[in-house]
Amino acid sequence: MDIYLQQLPQQLINGLTLGGVYALIAIGYSMVYGILGMLNFAHGEVYMIGGFAGWWVLHLLTRNNEVLFSAALVISLMIIAAMAISALVGVIAERLAYRPLRNAPRMNLLLSALGVSIFLQNLVLTYQGAKVRFFHISALIPDSLRIIQIGPIVFSFMRGLVIAITFLLMGLLTLMIKRTKVGKAMRATAQDLEAASFMGIDVNRMIVLVFLIGSALGGAAGTLVGLLFTQVDYYVGFQAGLKGFTAAVLGGIGNIYGAMLGGILLGLAEALAVTFLPSAYKDVVAFVILIVVLIVRPWGLVGEKTPEKV
Amino acid sequence: MIDRNHTAVLNPSNAAASSDPKRLVIYALIAAILIIAPHIMPNSYWLRIYTMTGLWAMLALGLNVVAGFAGLLDLAYVAFFGIGGYTFALLSSSQLNIHLPFMLVLPLAAFFTMFVGIALGLTSMRLKGDYLAIVTLAFAQIFKLLLLNLDAPVNITGGVNGIYSFDPINLFGIRILSPVAYAYLIWFFTIVVTIGSFRIKRSRFGRGWEAIREDELAAEAIGVNTTWMKLMAFAGGAFIAGAAGALFASFQDSVFPNNFDFPQLVIVYCMVILGGLGNITGVILGAVFLSILPEFLREYGAYRMMSYGLILIALMALRPQGIMGEIGFLVKKKVRPDKDHSDRLKASTELYYDQKGKMPETIEPKPQYSKSNQAILELKHITMDFGGIKAVDDLSLFLNAREILSIIGPNGAGKTTLFNLISGIYPPSRGSIYFEGGEITGLKPHRVVRAGIARTFQNLRLFDKMSVLDNARVGQFGRTSAGPLSILFHLPLHKKEERQTDQKAKEILHLFGARLTGYRFGQQAMSLSYANRRRMEIARALSTEPKVLLLDEPSAGMNPQETIEITAFIKTLRDVFGYTILLIEHKLKVVQTISDRVIALDYGVKIAEGTYEAVACSEQVIEAYLGRKRQPIA
């Protein structure tokens, strides 16, 4: 038991990092669900494309194992590129695959999203190949800074950075939604699309904005995970998408704060699970949580139960 | 409730359909192709593709049961395929040293997979469409993780290396070894599944599923046990997938985890969607097309999966009914009696009165029922609390047998909520409901329908894409009981019930004269006019053979002439056929004409009760509708 207690702070840090990333992915699912009531199956692929975008920036800016500019600038560029490209992909998918089906039955929309997911995954497979791409972060961070020790807790500099960036992004999103006029319009649209349009809100613009923000955050998560685990391949989106969705459902789908909470809880749960179980079953833990939540409390931890309108 | 003497004499059912010579020619042609095809394949490679096409078709037909008929987005389907394959692999190979004969393993694999399907269905059935998709996707992932990791500590699945080299199939002493024999074997099962699909589609099951796919709540509200039927769809799909998995394993003589992965799922979905969800012929053609097409596009292999993604997106946006859906030459042109020889359209009312004279129903039925003083339905202190808002507040009322009781009240008074409470859509927060002496509080809607209470919906919830006749037939779901075996083997029970269903549906529709009969039998409900859709709602409720009818604004949107007609019709339903009727209506003229008693609601509370005159003159009712008179300032 002692050995577990010693590992505990370490695992909490790991869980928090992972959880932050899940939260970023979950926000994208939740925002889209909140406004359109649809499950964006392709969100995982958007995350994967963000990872590739970050990898390309790092790859292009690295010569002989040294980056061309300062590490801070390179990391910023990676994240910005990832967010921009993922946002673009998300918005294009909305325009071409989802908007024509705005009034179609649910199932058609889901299948279309499935189609987008398959298309994007295989697009990357075709042009980037199946091999794993490694992030050469040794070029970014000097060895002296790689490991930080505070008391009994040892963690990598990257973990600290990832936690900082995820919480910064979540903070910015919260501010935007709570404090700005656009944020208010988005909340109104999520509550009632029709009523919002009667109030003069350009609903289509809001939907595009939701896809833009959600996808950008997903893309950022892709690059952050790349920095953390130093690799990306065309298949990572599938798992990450499922995890993000699990987090969104855990918190209460449609609710952004629920997505943040759900992401962090899921990360912590997974981190604690690997202390007790073989790591191959880490994913099984997440899916079991998902199934249990859906059956016991399908509206999630902070979501609201709504009666069906007849 | 409907007495045979009062309704029109109907044509005997069209039993001649199956011996149609054209049909026989088509059957013979298909049989000939299937017999000759394996022998004319240019080489063993194409023979293999031919056999695989049969397997894909079978797999697609299985998915068609779940996703097509019942409209459930089941993403664990490929895992069921895998469960069948691995069951076969484990039971007839040296892996666990179990060597059971094929004749035993095939049904074992199918039934075992079916039980897994039922188990998964039971846990996820309460979830709505998209949640169901995710849970099943997670299940498929868990399945794959298990396949990959169950090679240690005890080697069960063989991990990535899979399991190979199985016992040869032995059918009554004939060993299936040659590729041609496999082609026959697999296509034989494909044909069996095809015939089964057709039979089940044209049964109470098929209609029940279609109703669920169209509108789950309405299906439940006219007596379809939706939970059970969705479970049956899961079970049926899993059964077929399991059998297909076993056949596939034997044919390939090996199984690997990546035989049962996401790409296979996508391919089967593309086949079903390309063919049109629920369209059996289309699904088979979709499977054939997508099995053969890649062979001609081999040099573009890398783009294959990409194009599947695009196919899905494009079909959903442009042709969600699939390539086969509603192709003109396949649908028989029907004579439209609403056009005269110069092809000019006749007015529907004109037609109605034209036809009325020709009806065989010459003896005008005599009114024979009137209200009794015995309560058939009783509500005691019913409260419905929507998180603080009381839509119905401590309401008690009774409904006497063969009475017409009208509920009036301003918008938001809780009238429709009251209907939802009686019909079981919402369980009441407090209070109890009794029907014919027994308590029905909290029963699921389909049980309430079976007890004898049917309803219509204010905002029209017909099964739009089903025909008029099928809309009425679905109502008989709760009055029939044929199970899957009876349907698949056309046992006497099924045949008898089909005849009964058909007859009942037609009898009911004939009550509405030419408006819902004749050429309209085959029309989709969505092509009906607004007033006819209201009539259709009533017909559908009647076809459940209820004792009590809950009619939610039956005359809404009707013109004055039609309103008079429907008012008289509702009266006939009581006077001639003896239904008990609870009516919500805003047109007070209608209420005045037919009500035995009237209850006025406001904010969920009963504010007046009695004869129409008494209620209409009540101070409180006038206030609820028009507001309080300004008090003179003292």
A152-180 residues labelled b (16+ CB within 10 A) or e (exposed): eeebbbbbebbbebbeebbeebeeebeee
Q: Is residue B79 part of a domain?
A: yes
Parallel/antiparallel/unpaired status of strands B548-552 and B453-455: parallel
Is residue B623 very low, low, confident or very high in pLDDT (cuts 50, 70, 90)?
confident
Q: Domain for residue B131, yes or no?
A: yes
In whole angstroms, give the CA distance from residue B474 to residue B540. Answer: 8
Query: Which tokens go with B141?
Result: 């992932």
Residue A67 CB neighbour total at 10 angstroms: 17
Phi, psi of B324 (to 5 degrees): -85, -25
Distance CA B534, CA B376 (A): 26
Whether B103 maps to a domain, the answer reads: yes
Q: What is the bridge-based pairing of β-strands B438-439 and B430-435?
A: antiparallel
Cβ(B155)–Cβ(B20) under 8 Å?
Answer: no
Tell me, what's the pLDDT at B315?
Answer: 86
The region of weakest confidence among A73-77, B249-253, B323-327, B431-435 is B323-327
Interacting residues of B469 by C-beta distance below 8 A, sequence separation 6+: B505, B506, B509, B521, B522
Rounded-to-integer distance, Cα A265 and Cα A19, Å: 7
What pLDDT, on the 0 to 100 scale, is given for residue A91?
96
Cis link prior to B153 (omega < 30° from 0)? Answer: yes
- B266/A118 CB distance under 8 A: yes
For B339, phi then psi, to 5°, come to -120, 140
pLDDT of B387 above 90:
no
Q: Which two tokens stand for residue A62?
A: 């690295």
**B170 domain residue, yes or no:** yes
CA pair distance B597, B594, nearest whole angstrom: 9
Same-domain pairing of B94 and B238: yes
Which residues in chain A have Cβ-Cβ distances shorter than 8 Å to B420?
Answer: 310
Q: Which of B122, B130, B305 to mutate to test the interface with A (most CBs of A within 10 A)?
A: B130
Q: Do B312 and A118 touch (CB under 8 A)?
A: yes
User: Is B34 inside any structural domain?
Assistant: no
Buried residues in B508-546 as b, exposed as e (16+ CB within 10 A)? bbbbbbbbbbbebbebebeebeebbbbbbbbbbbbbbbb
Question: Can you give the length of chain A in residues?
Answer: 310
Residue A122 contacts B where some CB pair is shorter than 8 Å: yes
Domain of B113 in residue numbering reads as 41-259
Asked whether A148 and B344 are in contact (CB, 8 A), the reply is no
Is residue B207 in a domain? yes
Q: B302, A126: Cβ pair inside 8 Å?
A: yes
Q: What is the pLDDT of residues B130-164, one digit of tens each?
A: 778 888 888 898 898 889 888 877 888 888 888 98
Q: Which of B259, B285, B302 is the last residue of a domain?
A: B259
pLDDT at B5: 42
Q: Is A129 on the interface with B (CB under 8 A)?
A: no
Nearest CB among B130, B142, B313 relative to A284 is that of B142
The minimal CB distance from B320 to the residues A97, A108, A118 is found for A108
Q: At residue A267, what is the residue type?
A: G
pLDDT value for B341: 52
Q: Is residue B406 part of a domain?
A: yes
Choose the closest CB to B141 out of A112, A242, A280.
A242
Could you give phi then psi for residue B225, rounded to 5 degrees?
-75, 90
| Per-residue pLDDT reduced to its tens digit, B549-598 | 999 999 988 889 989 999 999 999 999 899 999 999 988 889 999 999 99
Query: Any residues with CB less than 8 A from the CB of B31 and at least 6 apart, and which?
Result: none
CA distance, residue A269 to nearest chain B CA (Å): 17
- Nearest-Cα residue of chain B relative to residue A37: B130
A2-11, B100-109, B301-310, B489-498: which range is least confident on average? Answer: A2-11
Q: Which of A92, A118, A236, A309 is the mutation pick for testing B, counting most B CBs within 10 A?
A: A118
Q: Are B413 and B601 in contact (CB under 8 A)?
A: yes
Q: What are phi and psi of A213, to 5 degrees?
A: -70, -50
Which of chain A's residues have a Cβ under 8 Å away from the Cβ of B320?
104-105, 108
**What is the CB neighbour count within 10 angstroms for residue B560?**
10
Relative orientation angle of helices B226-252 and B77-91, to the nearest 10 degrees: 50
In this prediction, residue B395 has a pLDDT band, given cuts at 50, 70 and 90, of very high
Closest by CA to B570, choosing from B438, B409, B456, is B456
| B348 Cβ contact partners less than 8 Å away, ≥ 6 residues apart | B338, B515, B529, B532
Question: Which structure tokens are listed for B152?
Answer: 């240690």
- Residue B90 is predicted with a pLDDT of 93
Distance from CA of B77 to the nearest CA of A (A): 15
User: In chain B, what percentage of residues exceed pLDDT 90?
Assistant: 49
Q: Fill in the amino acid letter for A216.
A: A
Which of B137, B266, B308 lies at the smallest CB-CB distance from A242? B137
Q: Is the ipTM of this complex over 0.90?
A: no
The CATH number that applies at residue B409 is 3.40.50.300
Q: How far is the C-alpha of A41 from the C-alpha of A20, rounded, in Å? A: 20
Token pair in block for residue A156: 């990598």
Q: Which of helix, strand or coil describes residue B6? A: helix
Nearest CA in chain A to B315: A112
pLDDT tens track for A184-225: 999 999 888 889 999 999 999 999 999 999 999 999 999 999
Q: Domain check: are B387 and B248 in the same one?
A: no
CB-based contact A270:A262 (threshold 8 Å): no
- Please identify which residue in the block is written with the tokens 């996401």: B262
CA-to-CA distance for B497 and B122, rounded, in angstroms? 29
A232 CA to chain B: closest CA distance, Å? Answer: 19
Question: Per the domain annotation, does B53 fall within a domain?
Answer: yes
B4-28 pLDDT, tens digit each: 444 433 444 444 445 678 888 999 9
Three-state SS sequence of B147-158: HHHCCCCCCCCC
| Rounded Cα–Cα distance for residues B407 and A272 (Å) | 59
- Residues in chain A within 8 Å Cβ distance of B426: 307
Query: B342 or B13: whose pLDDT is higher?
Result: B342
User: B209 and B61 share a domain?
Assistant: yes
**Chosen domain end from B236, B259, B282:** B259
Q: With an 8 Å Cβ cutoff, is A110 touching chain B? A: yes
Residues 6+ apart with CB under 8 A from A62: A68, A136, A139
Backbone angles phi, psi at B345, to 5 degrees: -75, 140
For chain B, say whether A25 makes contact (Cβ under 8 Å): no
* Number of domain units in chain B: 2
The domains located in chain A, with CATH, are 2-296 (1.10.3470)
Pairwise CB contact (< 8 Å): A115 & B313: yes
Domain C-terminal end among B259, B282, B311: B259
Exposure string over A251-283, b if 16+ CB within 10 A, otherwise e: bbbbbbbbbbbbbbbbbbbbbbbbeeeeeebbb
How many Cβ atoms are within 10 Å of B493's Cβ, its own excluded?
15
